[in-house]
Chain A
Amino acid sequence: MNDQALLALRPDLRIIADHVAPGTRALDIGCADGALMAALRDHARVDARGIEIDAGNVASAVARGLSVVQGDADVDLAGYPSNAFDYAILSQTLQTTRAPDKVLDELLRIGRRAFVSFPNFAYWRMRLALLWGGRMPVTSALAESWYETPNIHHLTIDDFRAFLKERGIVTEGAWFLNGDRLTSAWAANFRAEHAVFLIRRG
C-alpha cells in the first residue's frame, strides 16, 4: 500500500495497515477517529469495525462512514462472538486498560490474529529520565504528566515478550520504532520507543 492517506498515518498504524491482508475483517479497538479503519477500507477492501471510548471521536468516525461503536475495551469486548474477525487491533491502548491481560485474552478470542502496539517503557530515554531525573518520564510517546496520564499499565517490550511466552501465544511478527523510523530487533527493549506485535493463539 502506498498513498498519501497511508503516509499520513501514525507510524505504528502504517505498519499495521501494511500487514493486514486485503479483503479481511478487522476490529480496531480504540480506533480514535478511524484513520486506520478508513485506510484499511479504502486501500485493502477490509471490512473494518471499531470501538472507541470518546464520543467526539466516534461521531467523527461515523461521519466518515465507518462502523464504530462507543465502548470500552475493558468491558465491551465480551459481547463479540469468538473468531468474528481475522484481526483484532489494539493500537496504543493496551497500557490504558484496567485489565490488559484480560483484554489480550479477548483480543485473541475475537480475532484469529491480533495486532498490538504500545509504547516501550524501557526505552533508553525513559530509563535516563528515571535514573538521572528521578521523575516520571514525559516523552513524545508518553506525553502526559503522572497525574493526568491515561496510561495506567506501563510495560516494556521484554514484559510483553515474557507475557506471550507464559501464555503460549505465538508471535508472527514484531516491528520496532524509534520516532517515525523502523529499527532492528537488536536490543529493541533498550533502543525502541514503540513496538508493534502480530500475535495469535498457540
Chain B
Amino acid sequence: MEHDERFGHARSVTLPGPLALDGGQSLAPVTIAYETYGTLNADASNAILICHALTGDQHVASIHPVTGKPGWWTRMVGEGKPIDPKRHFIVCANVLGSCMGSSGPATAAADGNPYAMRFPVITIRDMVRAQAMLLDHLGVRELTAVGGSMGGMQVLEWAATFPDRMKSAVIIASAARHSAQNIAFHEVGRQAIMADPRWRGGDYYESNDAPADGLAVARMAAHITYLSEDGLTEKFGRRLQARDAKGFGFDADFQVESYLRHQGLSFVDRFDANSYLYITRAMDYFDLAEEHGGLLANAFQGSKARFCLVSFDTDWLYPTRESRSIVQALNAAGAAASFVELSSPYGHDAFLLDAPELNRVVDGFLRAGGL
C-alpha cells in the first residue's frame, strides 16, 4: 500500500474551514499540527484521540523538536502501555491557539503578518471542533478520547458536543469548569506577561525579542499549582541552593527558588507568550454546565459513551470534588461512569508521572470498551 501522507509523526494539515468560533468570529483556513501512531483498522474502530494540557503539544510519544526530550506521556502511550500503537490508532493534535504548528497568535493572518492579538479568542469547544475537522480528514468518525487537565476538559467537551462520535472518554485530573481560584492563578500569569515591556501589546514576533521574563514568571506561578505542598517540602524543604548559609540578598538562596527559575527559563524556549494568554483564557471561559442551561447533567443527556474519571488526592488545582461533581452529573444522566481518586504525593502533575494504578485503571477501562 502506498504511504498515506496523512499518517505519521510531525504531520500538519491546513483545512479550508471556516471554523465558526464561540466568540462569534470564524477562522479560515485552519492549520492543525498533529501526530498519529499505529494504524487505523479497516472499520476505523480503534481510534484514540489524546488531548493535551495547557502547555502540552502533539509530541505525546515522540522526541520534542525543541527540547529534544521524549514525549510528554510515554508512561501511558507506547508499546506495551495502556494506549498502544500496536493495537490503537492514536492521534494527538496541537490545540488551536497553541504554538507548535496549529493556528494560533503566531500564525500569519491574511495580510501576511502574525495574528498576534488579532487572533480571535477561542474556547475549549473551538479546540474540540478543530480536532473534529482533523478527525474527519483522517477518516475517523467514532473515537475514544483521553486527556488530563485541560485535555480532560476537551474530552468532556467532545462528549457533550459530539455525543454520537464518542465511544469512551477518559478524564484525568480535570474539571467541568474553571473555579475562581483557577481563574485567579491564570490572571497572575497573564498580567506577568502583559507587564513585561517586551510584550508590546502582543506585537513582538518581528523583534525577535519575546517577553520571556513575563512568560517565565507566569510559568513559575502556574508550576506551583501543579505540585503539592508535601511534594515541595519533600523535594526541597528549606534547603539552600549550592551554598552553606543564606546570602542576605535576592539570589536564589533556596533550592525551591532555583527550581522554579529553571522551570520558568526552560519554558520560554518552547512556548509563545501570546499562546499562553489565549489558552489560559479558553480554560477560564470553560464552564460545561453553563453551555447546557446551567445543569451539568444536561451535557451528558442521552450519551452512549462510557466515562472514566480519575483524580489525585493531592491535586489542589482540580481537586477530587470537581471530578465528583462530574460523576454525579453522569449518574444523573444515566451515563456509564467509573471514578476513582488515586493517591499520589505529586499533586496535579501526578497524571504525567509514574502512576501504576492510573495505568491499570486506564488499561482495564479501554479493554472493556473493546480497545
Binding site for B on A (CB under 8 A): 47, 49, 55, 58-59, 61-71, 76, 79-81, 84
Residue B334 CB within 8 A of the other chain: yes
Residue contacts A-B, CB under 8 angstroms, 25 given? A49-B337, A55-B341, A55-B342, A55-B343, A55-B357, A58-B338, A59-B340, A59-B342, A59-B357, A61-B338, A62-B340, A63-B363, A63-B365, A65-B369, A66-B338, A66-B368, A67-B337, A69-B331, A69-B339, A69-B340, A70-B339, A71-B327, A79-B327, A79-B332, A84-B331
Are A84's CB and B363's CB within 8 A?
no
Cβ-closest chain A residue relative to B342 = A55
Q: Is B328 an interface residue (CB 8 A)?
A: yes
CB pair B341–A70 under 8 Å, yes or no, is yes
> A59, B360: Cβ atoms under 8 Å?
yes
- A-contacting residues, B260-306, CB 8 Å: 306
In the bound complex, how far is the Cα of B311 from the Cα of A71, in angstroms? 13
- Within the complex, the shortest CB–CB distance from B28 to chain A, in Å, comes to 41
Q: Contacts A55-B343, A62-B338, A62-B340; is A80 near B364 (CB within 8 Å)?
A: no
Q: From residue B322, how far is it (CB to closest CB) to chain A in Å?
A: 14
Interface centre among B308, B339, B360, B363 (most CB of A within 10 A): B339
Q: Hey, which bits of chain B sit against chain A, CB under 8 A?
A: 306, 308, 324, 327-328, 331-332, 334, 336-343, 357, 360-361, 363-365, 367-369
Are the C-beta atoms of B338 and A69 separated by less than 8 Å?
A: yes
Residues of chain A within 8 A (CB-CB) of B308 are 62
Note all chain A residues with C-beta closer than 8 A to B364.
62-65
Q: Is the CB of A81 within 8 A of B340?
A: no
Q: Name 20 extra pairs, CB < 8 A, besides A55-B343, A69-B327, A71-B327.
A: A49-B336, A55-B342, A58-B340, A59-B340, A59-B361, A61-B338, A62-B338, A62-B340, A63-B360, A63-B364, A63-B365, A66-B368, A69-B337, A69-B339, A71-B339, A76-B328, A79-B332, A80-B331, A81-B331, A81-B332
Of A64, A67, A69, which contacts B306 at CB under 8 A?
A67
Chain A: which residue is nearest B336 at the CB level?
A67
Q: From B340, which residue of chain A is reached at the shortest CB distance? A: A58
Chain B residues whose CB sits within 8 angstroms of the CB of A70 once the complex forms: 339-341
Task: Find the residue from B308, B327, B364, B369 having the highest chain A CB count within 10 A.
Answer: B364
Contacting residue for B340 out of A55, A76, A79, A80, CB 8 A: A55
Q: Which of A55, A63, A66, A84 has the most CB of B within 10 A?
A: A63
Residues of A within 8 A of B363 (CB): 63
Q: Is the CB of A67 within 8 A of B340?
A: no
Cα distance A49–B205 in the bound complex, in angstroms: 54
Give A68 to B309 CA distance when docked, in angstroms. 10
A-B contact count (CB 8 A): 68
Q: Which residues of B contact A68 (CB under 8 A)?
A: 338-340
Chain A residues within 8 Å of B336, by CB:
47, 49, 67
**A69 to B328 CA separation, bound complex (whole angstroms):** 10
Q: Chain B residues with Cβ under 8 A from A62's Cβ?
A: 308, 338, 340, 361, 364-365
- A65-B365, A65-B367 are contacts. A79–B338 as well, Cβ < 8 Å? no
Known: A55-B340, A69-B339. A64 touches B368 (CB 8 A): yes
Who on chain B is nearest to A58 by CB?
Answer: B340
Expressed in whole angstroms, the Cα–Cα distance for A84 and B328 within the complex equals 13
CA distance in complex: A81, B94 (Å)? 39
Residues of B within 8 A of A80 (CB): 331-332
Complex: A65 Cα to B365 Cα, angstroms: 5
- Nearest residue (CB) in A for B358 is A59
Q: Report the minimum CB–CB distance from B129 to chain A (whole Å).
A: 28
The smallest C-beta distance from B21 to any residue of chain A, in angstroms, reads 34
Cβ contacts under 8 Å, A79 to chain B? 327-328, 331-332
**Distance between A72 CB and nearest chain B CB, rounded to angstroms:** 11
Separation in Å of the B337 CB from the closest CB of chain A? 6
By a CB distance below 8 angstroms, the chain A residues around B332 are: 79-81
Among B308, B331, B334, B336, the one with the most A-chain Cβ atoms within 10 Å of its Cβ is B331
CB nearest neighbor in A for B343: A55
Closest to B328 in A: A79
The residues of B that contact A69 with a CB separation of less than 8 Å are 327, 331, 337-340
Complex Cα gap A49–B337 (Å): 8
On chain B, the residues within 8 Å of A47 by CB distance are 336
Which residues of B lie under 8 Å from residue A49 when comparing CB positions?
A: 336-337
Write the chain A residue with the least CB distance to B330.
Answer: A69
